[in-house]
Amino acid sequence: MDHMKHILSYTRRAVDDYKMIREGDRIAVGVSAGKDSLTLLYAMATLKRFYPIPFELCAITVDMGFEGGGNFDEIRALCDKLGVPYHVVPSEIAKIIFEVRKEPNPCSLCAKLRRGALNNAAKALGCTTVALGHHFDDAVETFMLNLFFEGRIGCFQPVTYLSRVDLHVIRPLLYTPEKEVVAFAASAELPVVPSSCPADKATERESMKQLLRQLERENKGLRHRIFGAMQRAGVDGFILPERRPLILPEPTIDDETE
């Protein structure tokens, strides 16, 4: 499958460049019902078959507790197909955010609570590493959000060590353009379920995504240049261990299709 080859090419390069996998790692893939995490799950399960450094894999879903959002049968079936153990962690995160706290800007607290639940579950399962589904476009958008709304230069790191829980966090889709994720999710018929969150598509991130799409149409390759600048400047661990700048291949799907 061509789309899978593209995903694996991007994934392996990111994993190799940032030395994301260590021998004997037990990696927990954080799996929502979204396209990004399901693509990451598929990529990591496929990579596991031939990657020269052996590692174990499991998948964890944090059930946010949204009404009508707790059926994970299709994800479990996909995990069975891929030979990946699957675990669902119940939570009341939705209730805490929208009923108890009634957060006007819920995204930050939601992410913090989800990460905490995921990390605790991974640790309880004996995992050494948590893999998250942030991709190339997420990195650029996060950098620009921090610049525009917080006045700082920063982004999530490709590899992070959480000393408090003794876990590494990796982002193997770091080089993968979102268009490739969309194309693969459709071709593989992944069981993607739209978000149940009331704040979905009404966030600063969505606004930044739309702004970058508009700017990209007027300035071809803008996102690649931003990402390259992040690496050359060494933003939050983005500089490569060999201290060489990344030259990303052009996306295989034409930007004009956005």
Mean pLDDT of 199-226: 88
What pLDDT, on the 0 to 100 scale, is given for residue 253? 39
This prediction has a pTM of 0.88
What pLDDT, on the 0 to 100 scale, is given for residue 221? 92
What pLDDT, on the 0 to 100 scale, is given for residue 65? 67
More confident residue, 1 or 166: 166
Q: pLDDT at residue 222 above 70? A: yes
Dist CA 38 CA 27 (whole Å): 15
Q: Is 226 exposed, middle or buried (0-12, 13-18, 19+ CB in 10 A)?
A: middle
In this structure, are residues 252 and 180 in contact, taking their beta carbons and an 8 Å threshold?
Answer: yes
Those residues with Cβ within 8 angstroms of residue 105's Cβ, 6 or more apart along the chain or in another chain:
none
> Which neighbouring-strand residues pair with 61?
88
Q: pLDDT at residue 204 above 80? A: yes
What pLDDT, on the 0 to 100 scale, is given for residue 63? 85
Mean pLDDT of 141-146: 95
In this structure, are residues 59 and 72 in contact, taking their beta carbons and an 8 Å threshold?
Answer: no
Q: Tens digits of per-residue pLDDT, 170-202?
A: 999 999 999 999 999 999 999 998 766 665 556
Q: Tens digits of per-residue pLDDT, 68-89?
A: 556 789 999 999 999 999 999 9
What pLDDT, on the 0 to 100 scale, is given for residue 248? 55
More confident residue, 59 or 194: 59
Q: Percentage of the chain with pLDDT > 90?
A: 68
What pLDDT, on the 0 to 100 scale, is given for residue 201? 59
Q: pLDDT at residue 129 above 90? A: yes
